Structure 1
Amino acid sequence: MTTFAVNDWDDAYENGRNIPNGSDWPGVWVAPAQAFRDRGSNRLDIAYGQTERSKYDLFLPEGTPKGLLVFVHGGYWVALDKSYWSHLAEGAVAKGWAVAIPSYDLCPTVSIAEITVQVGGAIDHAAAAVSGPVVLAGHSAGGHLVTAMMCEDSPLSPDTLSRLRHVVSLSGLHDLRPLLATTRNEMLRLDMASATAGSPALKRPLPGVRLTTWVGGGERQEFLRQTALLANIWHGLGCATQAVVEPDRHHFNVIDGLAHGSSPLTRTALHDPDEV
């Protein structure tokens, strides 16, 4: 019998201090993100709501898009914005897809539940601008937010849901209850009721939407566990799932494949069984 014990929940969910040169992130993303914005075909700062952060950037391929990929960033619901991730649109754009990357309001100004609704509004707005299938990808806290979109209480509109094909959670957090034991909760302001209500792993998935959970082999044990957790539970509820552990990747570089159209990550995200 194997026994696991966590004595320091802050360390269990701490990435930067447990990655060589971890303090380099998020700074290393700034230059490639700016470079892609400068050279790509894009529409920046499209408002989808009333607040200053309720905006998204839309990156377009040549010709009519095959569909829409929405990437939702991480930052533990308390940090960062859309500007750090623009280069991650490059892989899908090269494959003929449009890519939307939204910002959203942050805790503690708003709750995680409010962010979830807000992200749903961003996806609906982008989906109204781009026809075809919709694929969602999100990293870390963004992985939580995109998997919330395929739950039975999804905030997405019926039209968007009818087009939603695949959700990819990269190092996502799918059970929020362990965060109650972290100092981060001073900003998140979760209690047991809200953590339970906001956890995709404790909900039923919508039918007809595939789930891929993807994590780096060098990540913290909690991120490996959370990745396996959702795929396992939802498989038992009839969802088509797969859980991928990418070797030699940590929490910050596990997303890099999205910048390349030929990467396993991009090819997995955009593959639609209906086209085979």
Structure 2
Amino acid sequence: MNIDRAYMNGAFIAGADAYPPRWEAKAAAFRQGLGKRAETGIAYGSGARQAYDLFRPEGTARGLMVFIHGGYWIRFDRSMWSHLAAGALARGWACAMPSYTLAPEARIREMGQEMVTMLAHAGAAVPGPLVVTGHSAGGHLAARMACADIAVAGLRRVVPISPLTDLEPLSQTAMQAQLQLDAAEIASESPARLNLRTGVEAHIRVGGQERPAFLWHARLLAEEWNCDWSVAPGLHHFDVIDALEDPDSELTEILLGGF
């Protein structure tokens, strides 16, 4: 098995190169359209990337949804995903989107600690229930927030999307040169090796056309946590997140339904 090939999403998606500029353009247009309801660059720490954007709905927010971006912990930032807040805002929820320090400048455990700090900061700004989601590496960090060794005030539900749930396979890829994972960090930062915190709901989402490795990661975490998981038929790693734009989508309902 070629372990690097197992995590090459773009190589198996038609027109993959067109997705990042499309995301960037949609995100910029979305922020502009919100006007004063888009609060950008809110610092939650002193680091250059320790900031988040907060998008508010019309009227008082029902709660806060947080979306953590992916990119294998080594690329991207919050600015490319703003449009994915549309579904939550339409349902009366605020949405926060953070950046975090990337590898190799930060280790994965340090990224997790940054997210704990960010959630406390954003949670203080928006009263009500807190729901955390994230995609790919961001799905890993979202899942990490629900582990039993971390207490995030107000956290009610996590919905990791196409998450990386056991870090050991990643340590065998070329990305290891930047991630620098060791046995201790693999054990302490792999959600599938940790318990789900009591009182936090979890649902794992993955696209039906994803690479087999991502289907494995999703099912592994669902089995270890004994929680729901679902497959979005026909969707791949780059379009499985699009449903966040739709307030009536199955994914948005999984995230925010019942509150």
Q: Give the TM-score taking structure 2 as reference length.
A: 0.97
Structure 1 CA distance for aligned equivalents of residues 184 and 125 of structure 2: 36
Which residue of the partner structure matches residue 87 of structure 2?
91
Structure 2 CA distance for aligned equivalents of residues 253 and 26 of structure 1: 11
Structure 2 CA distance for aligned equivalents of residues 123 and 32 of structure 1: 25
Which residue of the partner structure matches residue 18 of structure 1?
12
Alignment of 1:247 with 2:243, yes or no, is no
* Deviation of the 1:25 alpha carbon: 2.5
Alignment of 1:213 with 2:209, yes or no, is no
Alignment of 1:196 with 2:184, yes or no, is no
Structure 1: runs of 5 or more not aligned? 1-6, 236-240
State the secondary structure of the residue aligned to 2:205.
Answer: strand
Structure 1 CA distance for aligned equivalents of residues 50 and 205 of structure 2: 27
Structure 1 CA distance for aligned equivalents of residues 230 and 170 of structure 2: 24
Structure 2 CA distance for aligned equivalents of residues 193 and 11 of structure 1: 25
Structure 2: runs of 5 or more not aligned? none
Structure 1 CA distance for aligned equivalents of residues 19 and 169 of structure 2: 24
Does the CA-based 8 Å contact 1:17-1:23 persist in structure 2?
A: no
- Counting only pairs closer than 5 Å after superposition, residues 37-186 of structure 1 correspond to structure 2 as 37-40=31-34, 41-154=37-150, 156-157=151-152, 160=153, 163-186=154-177
List per-residue Cα deviations over 1:109-142 (Å, max 9, x = no partner). 0100000000111111000000000000000000
Question: What is the one-letter code of the residue matched to 1:73?
Answer: H
Moved more, 252-261 or 189-198: 189-198
Which residue of the partner structure matches residue 245 of structure 2?
259
List per-residue Cα deviations over 1:188-239 (Å, max 9, x = no partner). 000222112110100111111111110110000000010011011111xxxx
State the secondary structure of the residue aligned to 1:197.
Answer: helix
Structure 1 CA distance for aligned equivalents of residues 188 and 93 of structure 2: 33
- What is the aligned length? 257
Does the CA-based 8 Å contact 1:57-1:102 persist in structure 2?
A: yes
Does the CA-based 8 Å contact 1:165-1:208 persist in structure 2?
A: yes
- The CA RMSD measured in Å over matched residues stands at 0.9
Which residue of the partner structure matches residue 3 of structure 1?
none
Question: What is the one-letter code of the residue matched to 2:109?
Answer: A
Runs of 4+ in 1 over 4 A off after TM superposition: none
Does the CA-based 8 Å contact 1:36-1:87 persist in structure 2?
A: yes
State the secondary structure of the residue aligned to 2:215.
Answer: helix
List per-residue Cα deviations over 1:65-91 (Å, max 9, x = no partner). 000000000000000000000000010
Does the CA-based 8 Å contact 1:180-1:192 persist in structure 2?
A: no
State the secondary structure of the residue aligned to 1:243.
Answer: strand
Structure 2 CA distance for aligned equivalents of residues 116 and 259 of structure 1: 26
State the secondary structure of the residue aligned to 1:225.
Answer: helix
Structure 2 CA distance for aligned equivalents of residues 185 and 24 of structure 1: 27
State the secondary structure of the residue aligned to 1:56.
Answer: strand
Question: What is the one-letter code of the residue matched to 2:243?
Answer: G
The percent identity for this pair of structures is 46
Structure 1 CA distance for aligned equivalents of residues 223 and 194 of structure 2: 13
State the secondary structure of the residue aligned to 2:164.
Answer: coil
Question: What is the one-letter code of the residue matched to 2:231?
Answer: V
List per-residue Cα deviations over 1:1-47 (Å, max 9, x = no partner). xxxxxx10000011011111112232210111001100112111000
State the secondary structure of the residue aligned to 1:90.
Answer: helix
Structure 2 CA distance for aligned equivalents of residues 16 and 242 of structure 1: 27
Question: What is the one-letter code of the residue matched to 1:186?
Answer: A
State the secondary structure of the residue aligned to 1:26.
Answer: helix
Q: Give the TM-score taking structure 1 as reference length.
A: 0.91
